[in-house]
Amino acid sequence: MDELWLPVLLGTNRKERKSVHVANWLVGEMSQRPEIQTRLFDVKDFALPGDDYGSGIKDRFPEWRDSIIKADGLVVISPEYNHGYPGILKSVLDLLLKEYIHKSVAFVGVSAGPWGGTRVIEAMVPMVRELGLVATFTDLNFPFVQNLFDQNGTLLDNAYAKRVAAFLDELIWMSRVLKWGRENLPSKYHQ
């Protein structure tokens, strides 16, 4: 089958963030799948203006825009901050709109506590639905993330090998189904 383009978006710019270990590990896991092509995007690398917002400024970020145009799906990695997602993550996602329609999105939740980002994923689902993305139902959760990686970013818990396999299998399936639909079924969104 054809390769799928599935970029990853790391959704926090906080100093000393532990979710960067999750992002690097996940991109490594995705790169081992022959059917996946990926790239890590990091919200800290987006020089967002303080006085403008939304899809009107998407051309200031051509690598992101072009990556999502060709994307078959998207992975969003987000820590949970007070039951919600970081504002910068929302700002980056809001740079585009029609480019997301009928594409899959999979979530990776990260937290310093026991919930592993469950609540941030719950908060993101209605938001991405409004963007036109279709959420998978197999999430990856990293509770107590500060204990899951060593100082070099090496994952210490082998249970994640099975979890990431199920996560990626669902993302691949959903991405292929939606890609087929975009390419073969009439829609006002896809010409």
Average pLDDT over residues 34-50: 96
Phi, psi (degrees; rounded to nearest 5) at 71 = -65, 150
Name the amino acid, one letter, at 58. Answer: K
Sign, CA dihedral 186-189-190-191, equals positive
Q: Map residue 80 onto helix, strand or coil.
A: coil
Question: Is the per-residue pLDDT at 191 higher than 80?
Answer: no
Q: Which of 8, 23, 188 is nearest to 110 (CA)?
A: 23
Q: What is the pLDDT of residues 70-119, one digit of tens each?
A: 999 999 999 998 889 999 999 999 999 999 999 999 999 999 999 889 99
Local structure of residue 160 (DSSP, 8 states):
H
How far is Cα 39 from Cα 27, in angstroms, rounded to an integer?
7
Q: What is the largest CA-CA distance in the chain?
A: 50
pLDDT given for residue 2 in this prediction: 85
Arithmetic mean of pLDDT over the chain: 95
Rounded Cα distance between 169 and 171, Å, is 6
The residue type at 112: A
**pLDDT tens, 7-25?**
999 999 999 899 999 999 9
Alpha helices in 32-78 (DSSP H): 62-70
Position 154: which residue type? T
At 174 the pLDDT is: 98
Backbone phi and psi for residue 27, each to the nearest 5 degrees, phi listed first: -60, -40
Read off the pTM.
0.96
Distance CA 105, CA 178 (A): 11
b/e map 66-97, b = 16+ CB within 10 Å: ebbeebbbbbbbbbbeeeebbebbbbbbbbbe
pLDDT band at residue 161 using 50, 70 and 90 as cut-offs? very high
Determine contact, residues 42/23, Cβ cutoff 8 Å.
Answer: yes
Q: What confidence tier does 1 reach under pLDDT thresholds 50, 70, 90?
A: low
